[in-house]
Structure 1
Amino acid sequence: MALRAGQVVTLKVEREAAFGVFLTDGNEDVLLHKKEQTHPVELEEEVEVFLYQDNEGRLASSMTIPEASFEDYVKTTVTGTRYNTGVFVGIGIQKDVLVSLDDLPQRRTYWPEEGDQLYIRLKHDQKLRLLGDPAPYAFFNLMAKPAPEEWNNTEVEGLVFAQREPGVNVFVNGQTIGFLHENEMEHWPRLGEVMKLRVTNIKPDGTVLLSARPRAYEAIDTDAELILNHLLEHGGQMAYGDKTPPDTIQDVFGLSKAAFKRALGRLLKDKKIEKNETGVQLKK
């Protein structure tokens, strides 16, 4: 059988070279670079190695046997991005593995970035080059367990594993499937992004609904500070209040009308502002 990238095979050390040794199965020779040796090897020694293609497309080998295989999905870390090719993930050997753009979201802004995490298994393209194959929804669904009740309204860690408008699927705390709707986002997350989220609802099937937004009472302080700063920058007065159109509030403050009114209410209650004929002003 011809040797192929991704195989784990036992080969014999045939001859030495300045940069390593060549291994053979009796028909093909494969380089084992010094950097890929876990210990020095000797002539005629039989060595178990993982096969991959080097940067020139030649078959090479490593004595480090990665967890990644053609059968099982494993979690890997993104090491880099190439715009017209895809993203690269580390599997423990010198050469990173490409996840093709064909297996990534169409929008480049949704692509993983360096440090993000992808579950992948190995596969070949038509030219038998080694690629990483991202795990589908079915893989996470098979691993998933129902969320415990105590998760409700608590912070969790989620790994984005599928772009599914109008939101994304998230693997929560390494055990439960969650959904983050676009209305609960502060930005549209990348595939492979690890996020701090809050469980807003545990559904009967054990999956969860999530939010990346702060709780309303946490947001009030930030929104109130935004309004106070605006007042300070404009002589202590502004012509915006309860009757101001939502579009104007959004344009000026970047807040929804509801968030704006909640923040105004907090400032009035704390006696930091007062209403006047045209809007509100800082309390004297």
Structure 2
Amino acid sequence: MNAGQTQTLTIAEKISSGYILKDELGEKAFIQKIFADESWEIGAEVEVFVYQDDGNLKATTEKANAEVGEFAVMTCVQSLPTGAFMDWGIIKDLFIPYKQQKSKILEGKRYLVYVYTDEATGLTTGTTKFKRNPQYENLPYRNGDRVDLIMMNESEIGWNVVIDKKYIGLVYASDVFKKLYPLSDESGYIKTIREDGKIDVTLQAQGFENVDEFKQKIIDKLNDNYGLLYLSDKSSPEEIKDELQMSKKNFKKAIGSLYKDKVIDIQEDKIRLL
């Protein structure tokens, strides 16, 4: 039975305060009645999150913010000299020892936390110390795949990001076209998986397959500006970025498609909605 993970267990016994669940090897975990369903029957299988509590395995139908091997943004609910307790999204808080804190964790503040199993104690633990741009093998992505991002921090070359709660990647500054904030959620796309196993991400889709998104953005901006937008294919990348939060490359693709569809007229210094 893997603590810190969601798994399917079998209902082995019903007691006054809840249920005893077991895995295929017969290892048991207790779940309180308040997290169980009245329709549960002995022998049925249920999906639960397993955690440790005072040396015992317990289970809950609540969804944890992150499982072992995942990142999540968590709020500190109590800070002590020995460590900090983080809101894990379940009845049990996640403990981060003081030595696993990149900087002192303060009560009420939000932090990016990685959940792992401590080899020395066997306990599910959190840390705010993790490598930037680590190398990976056998990644489940192809270039262009859409992913969910957590913004980590800005550096000289761009933004470090968490990809799908599991991997760390990089968005280069040249691919950033809007204001970003640490710990915020964004959508992104796999740009390149490098030979060294590092992941480059972009915030905007590449190619013509997502040009409709940019076309609609331009149309919305035209409608907001009485059918006129003082941008053209001669405008600088900075002007386009400030006005539309997109690259000049995507802008040119979008207005070219809109012109072909006879939706806009492209003039020397502006575009006009027809």
TM-score (norm 1): 0.48
Structure ranking higher in helix proportion = 1
TM-score (norm 2): 0.50
Bigger radius of gyration among the two: 1
